[in-house]
A and B are shown apart, each in its own frame.
Chain A
Amino acid sequence: MRAPGLILAVTAVLAVACAPADETTTPTNQVDGVACTKDKLPTLTAGKITFGTDQPAYEPWFVDDDPTNGKGFESAVAYALAEELGYAKTDVVWTRVPFNAAIQPGRKTYDMDLNEFSITEERRQAVDFSAPYYDVDQAVITLDSSKAASAKTLADLKRVKIGAQVGTTSFDAAQRLQPEQDVAVYNTNDDAKAALRAGQIDALVVDLPTAFYITSAELEDGLIVGQIPAGDGKPEQFGIVLDKGSPLTACVSTAVENLRTEGTLTRIEQEWLSSAGTAPELK
């Protein structure tokens, strides 16, 4: 009878040993502008700054799926930000992190992630956000041939089949339309576009700059139906994602604010997102 008892005891001990140990994280928010220099910033690799984004990375946020070329709105913002913090172009490292993985709680493989992340209270529970670097609207796109093409009001859109990417604020905007049919939910916008082309959905909700890019460059007969009004009257804003309690957050936010007051953000926006702002606002 000794062996079974022993096995029981060992199993119990193992089960206990497998329970995760506590990690102590002590957020050390520094005073603005004091230690925000290249030699003091505690980045993943000393002297380097690691940015994360998804693969593929889309226009107009990145160009040619190559974040390192400095082209596209978010790539340009990243390099301007690195410069503001005192990093040379060669100190900038990029890593690829899927959209939904980037905002999970837990250890990060990046110092900061630019991936069209809208700042929401729910996401703040899991990650830090920098000061916002872009105000964004959600838009509905469709094909000329679709029955959604003739939609003029929000009420018209209730009657068509709508799709969106999972875990995005575009999905929340699609839900806000309260369509009669369930919103179709896709892993990526590429899957959603395939469904739109195939006629499985009539319309797709994406953020406005993405809407401009998809309808002008990716879908031959694509068109923008219009913008969806913000949920609670507040504009939606993109923020840079950092690890929860990251010591970099304060410095990054200060740097973003500096870029805004210098007019750098506006200049980058005009260069890469100039077509935004001409889609009708749906009522």
Chain B
Amino acid sequence: MTSELQRERSAYKRSRSRRSTLVALLSTAVFAVAVGVGVTGAPGWPRVRQSFFDVEMAWRSLPAILEGLWLNLRVLAVCGVLIVVLALLVATMRTLRGPVWFPLRALATVYVDLFRGLPLIILLYLVGFGLPALRLTGVPNDSVVLGGAALVLAYTAYVAEVFRAGIESVHPSQVAAARSLGLGPRATLRLVVLPQAVRRVMPALLNDFVALQKDCGLISVLGAVDAVRAAQIEHARAFNFTPYVVAGLLFVLLAVPTARFADALGRRLERRQGGR
């Protein structure tokens, strides 16, 4: 049962929040108009609009860029899955305790140091042009596959470190409790440690995912015509920067759902842990 006082309070809160929304809307509108008038009134504006925001040019370049983006998306999907699996493996290897596991720990450490430190563009050249130049049987020859492999190598190192941070953030008492319930080391990791670890590092993981979305565009240096390259081709034809703006906006749009998902996830986590 809500008291009379509580109902009054709620009504007051609602009216204040409506007022806030209205003020925010109004000030945003005023701000937008001021900026709009100011920018479009500036003397260089027609030239800026022509070389960056040419609607006809944008429309003409869109099909090629979208086709390229479809390639980026496929690369993103396959690489994303591979990276998560491999990174969990590397992170687990790095967190193994006991002298027997030293070789695995060392291997994982060397891997992370090497591939996290190596500039992605160098890795792309080494894997994309260097590997097939050896002409070994069994080495793939497709620039997209090779570019994807380079992305997986690099991002696995980043993501493994994120997972490791998560695993190490789980309090030792959790492991002790799991072991005292009779769970073996593997079951402890799988049922107790990893679920908590992954939940904690989710924002960082999604951050890496957004970075991967953009870096998928780098496979273009190997000859694949992705969204970035398609934009470059259109730009080189007409010396108009609009295709880059179009491709850039598409990548931004791609990143927005991930960002909102991360926000929602953060709120859910807060509620679960009895926060506000």
Contact = CB atoms under 8 A, between A and B. Distances in A.
Nearest to A188: B221
B45 A123 contact: no
Contacts of A13: 38
B229 A166 contact: yes
B35 interface: yes
B256 to A, nearest CB: 22
Contacts of B233: 166-167, 171, 185
Interface stretch (A60-68, A133-141, A198-206, A269-277): A198-206
Interface stretch (A19-27, A37-45, A85-93, A213-221): A19-27
Contact of A198 (B43, B132, B229): B132
Nearest to A24: B43
B149 interface: no
Interface of B: 27, 30-31, 34-35, 38-39, 41-45, 47-48, 51, 129, 132-133, 135, 141-143, 220-225, 229, 232-233, 235-239
Interface stretch (A50-58, A76-84, A97-105): A97-105
B239 A122 contact: yes
A194 B133 contact: yes
A29 interface: no
A20 B44 contact: yes
A19 B34 CA distance: 13
Interface string A154-186: 000000000100110001000000000011111
Given A104-B239, A166-B233, A191-B222, 20 more contacts: A4-B27, A11-B31, A16-B39, A16-B42, A20-B44, A125-B238, A163-B223, A166-B229, A166-B232, A166-B236, A167-B232, A167-B237, A171-B233, A184-B223, A184-B225, A185-B233, A191-B223, A199-B135, A200-B223, A201-B223
Given A16-B35, A20-B42, A194-B133, A122 B223 contact: no
Contact of A191 (B35, B141, B142, B221): B221
Contact of B45 (A19, A163, A167, A197): A19
B118 to A, nearest CB: 19
Contact of B143 (A12, A19, A105, A195): A195
A194 B129 contact: yes
A122 B60 CA distance: 15
20 contacts: A16-B38, A16-B39, A20-B44, A22-B44, A23-B44, A103-B239, A126-B239, A166-B229, A167-B233, A183-B225, A185-B220, A185-B229, A185-B232, A185-B233, A186-B223, A194-B129, A195-B222, A198-B133, A198-B135, A200-B142
Contacts of A126: 239
Nearest to B220: A185
Given A105-B239, A185-B229, A200 B143 contact: yes
A21 B223 contact: no
Contact of A167 (B35, B44, B220, B236): B236
Contacts of B44: 19-23
Given A19-B48, A197-B133, A198-B133, A185 B223 contact: yes
A122 B233 CA distance: 13
A184 B45 contact: no
A3 interface: no
A195 B51 CA distance: 33
Contacts of A34: none
Nearest to B132: A198
B238 A122 contact: yes
Nearest to A171: B233
A11 B35 CA distance: 9
A200 B141 contact: yes
Contact of B225 (A103, A104, A167, A182): A182
Given A198-B129, A198-B141, A200-B143, A12 B38 contact: yes
Q: Which 4 A-B pairs have the closest CB atoms?
A: A167-B236, A16-B38, A19-B42, A184-B223
B132 A199 contact: yes
Most chain B CB within a 10 A radius of its CB, from A23, A200, A201: A200
Contacts of B35: 12, 15-16
A6 interface: no
Nearest to A105: B239
Nearest to B142: A200
Nearest to A16: B38
B135 A123 contact: no
Contacts of A150: none
Contacts of B45: 19
Contacts of B30: 8
Given A126-B239, A184-B223, A195-B223, A15 B39 contact: yes
Contacts of B47: 20, 22
Nearest to A103: B239
Contacts of A200: 132, 141-143, 222-223
A187 interface: yes
